[in-house]
Amino acid sequence: MTGQICFLLNDRQVCTSQAPGVSVLTYLRQAERLIGTKEGCREGACGACTVLLGELDGEQVSYKVVPACLLLLGELPGKHLVTIEGLNQAQLSLVQNALVDFGATQCGFCTPGIVVSLTGYLLAGGTDISVAGIKQALSGHLCRCTGYAALQRASAALVRFISQHSHASISDLIALTLLPDYFQTIPARLRQLPKTPSDNGQTSPEFWIAGGTDLCVQSGPRLASAPVRFLSQFREMKGISRRDGQIHIGALTTFAELAVHPVIRQLIPDIQGYMARLASWQIRQQATVGGNIMGASPIGDVSNLLVALDARLILQRDGQRRTVPLQGFYRGYKDTAQHPGEILIEIVVPVPDPGVRINVEKVSKRLSVDCASVNSAIAVHCESGIIQTCSLSIGGVAPIPLFLKQTSAYFQHKPLTKETIQGAFPILQREIAPISDIRGSAIYKRLLARQLLIAHFTQLFPELITVRDFHETH
């Protein structure tokens, strides 16, 4: 069979001539009639369409769990796409059995995606499998309308069972009935797949696609017929390193990669805790740092952090590169200093002086899969109780992720006391201009901005200042 996009779909090779911007969810349900992958929200928020995507990684295949509604056909060449049908075996699988044993079934829309996510977690988790981790794996499955506690009990039992058995290799996982036999053959078959391009290599496409988690929601139907290009082809845009006093973050670094990278953890010890508040486990494996910046949302959680860290953007067009400070990149709502055709290659963060402490805060209505009402980040250096430098950013209170220039400058060379922090409140309030919307009233957001300022200092310097110090001002 000839076609433009060739990949393995469950146990068989598929080549399709459908456009690269067609959603995998649409393709599975309409072209393949694989209707176990359900269509719920089509916005990455319900988990009903969850699939596994496997890619050769040396001799092995590494799998991630992604929502098919935010995945496009152009991401599939050379990969292994696994739907719920591809996990079914002659008997119930390990995960399916656990759900039955604990009476842990959600409705018919939610259950297939949950089976895929739990399988994907146990498949990809290696030695890090834990009860906390498997709960995170469920974070993209939003509905709680049936037996959710039973689902958590079934998940915990799965973790216990897997931990007590050898689970290092695919053959171990097949023996445990987590996976069907054919998974054993996938690495060799992926190597033999015909090499097909993701797109037609246009130099000026209508859409550059990174993780697609924003674009598929905003422009989904248009992508199917528009000229698109997939940035994932550019391997050099991935990875994090520290050299020449700077941290280099490839624009295609995913949220999940950022959360666990040792260079980032050294900089922000609790980065994992913060990143766990972004989107869902599934989306964090797909969403990129570059997409967060270029999407220019005023509540982008990673862009907000990078504004406080005084990051620089390396932008490229026709082989020419230029460097732009992120603090001056945003000009208005969804309006940036990006030139037409420019792509973001890398983000460079100056390594802060030793002694700089960094904190990030996010307030949203739900803990998972929810955008911030207000988010804020700070990088502050305090010596012998005197603030030496301070860099503060805030999102959700202006049309852009905002660098709080005046508030930051105010703190310089002041003692770190309750009075100093209170003195910043009027300056902070003058710098922001929140509007009332679905995420809260303008008054509420002003209150949050003040509370997050207090939270930054009490989190970072508990030896100098605590929330209790502010009680009388509440």
84, 99, 110, 296: which one binds ligand FES (CB under 6 A): 110
Binding of ligand FES by 215 (CB under 6 A) = no
Alpha-carbon dihedral 41, 43, 46, 49, rounded to 10 degrees:
80
Q: Which residues between 232 and 291 bind ligand FAD (CB under 6 A)?
A: 251, 278-279, 283, 287-288, 290-291
Q: Rounded to whole angstroms, how far apart are CA atoms 464 and 385?
A: 8
Residue 93 or 105: the one with the smaller Cβ distance to ligand FES is 105
Minimum distance of ligand FAD from residue 215's CB (angstroms): 4
CB-based contact 140:50 (threshold 8 Å): yes
Assess contact for 54 and 80: CB atoms under 8 A: yes
Stretch binding ligand FES (CB under 6 A), from 107-115, 129-137, 204-212, 284-292:
107-115
Closer residue to ligand FES, CB minimum distance, 145 or 188:
145
Question: Among ligand FAD, ligand FES, none, what does residue 307 contact (CB within 5–8 Å per kind)?
Answer: none
Residues ≥6 apart with Cβ < 8 Å to 171: 184
Tokens 């494996």 correspond to 285
**Ordered DSSP codes for 30-52:** IIS--TTS--S-SSSSS-TTEEE
Interacting partner of 283 out of ligand FES, ligand FAD, none (Cβ under 5 to 8 A depending on kind):
ligand FAD
Taking CB under 6 A as the rule, does residue 107 contact ligand FES? yes
Interaction pattern, residues 178-217, with ligand FAD; x per rule: CB under 6 A: -----------------------------xxxxxxxxx-x
Identify the CA nearest to 94 among candidates 58, 132, 120: 120
Q: Which is nearer to ligand FES, 13 or 136 (CB)?
A: 136
**Is there binding between residue 148 and ligand FAD (CB under 6 A)?**
no
Closer residue to ligand FAD (CB): 154 or 370? 370
Give the residue nearest to ligand FAD (CB).
Answer: 291
Residues 341-360 that bind ligand FAD (CB under 6 A): 343-344
**CA distances (Å), origin 172, targets 123, 152, 169, 179, 196:** 10, 24, 5, 9, 32
Residue 145 touches which of ligand FES, ligand FAD, none (Cβ within 5-8 Å per kind): ligand FES
Tally DSSP H helices, then E strands, for the chain: 17, 18
State which of residues 106, 117, 119, 458 lies at the interface with ligand FES (CB under 6 A): 106
Distance separating alpha carbons of residues 221 and 211, to the nearest angstrom:
16
Residue 53: strand pairing partners: 64, 81
